[in-house]
Amino acid sequence: MMQIKLSKAADKFPKKVDGNSRKAIIKAIIAKIGILKTCLETQQVYPPDELDIKKLKGTLAGFSRIRVGKIRVIFQIRKETGEIFIYDINYRGNIYDT
């Protein structure tokens, strides 16, 4: 069973979003990560087409991203420890500035 771990940066993002859209954004992110987790656990399949997942290059090589509207979730699947590590969550214009 895979666990989901968040970095400090990823954990801070929901607190930055205004109250009106916070619940909807969190719900959408949880839904997409939940689908990814289920696919990896039950089918051992990496579902890039359904979830709009892309592998990243450059300084973020080894990570992938899921698009949730204007928000990007940068994550890494760590099969050896059985976890999905969420490195960062932010808006598209800010996420790749790391």
Model confidence pTM above 0.95: no
Q: Where are the domains of the chain?
A: 3-90
Percentages of the chain per state (helix, strand, coil), in multiples of 5: 45, 30, 25
For residue range 51-95, list pLDDT tens digits in order: 889 999 999 999 999 998 899 999 999 989 999 999 999 998 888
Give the tens place of pLDDT for each residue, 7-62: 999 999 988 888 778 888 889 999 999 988 888 888 776 665 778 899 999 999 99
Contact 29, 73 (CB under 8 A): yes
What pLDDT is recorded for position 90?
A: 92
Predicted confidence at residue 6, as pLDDT, reads 94
Query: Cα(45)–Cα(95) distance, rounded to whole angstroms?
Result: 26
Could you say which of 3.30.70.980, 2.70.240.10, 3.30.2310.20, 1.10.3470.10 is the CATH number of the domain covering 3-90?
A: 3.30.2310.20
Q: H-type helices in the chain, by residue range? A: 8-16, 19-38, 48-51, 92-95
Q: How many residues does the chain have?
A: 98
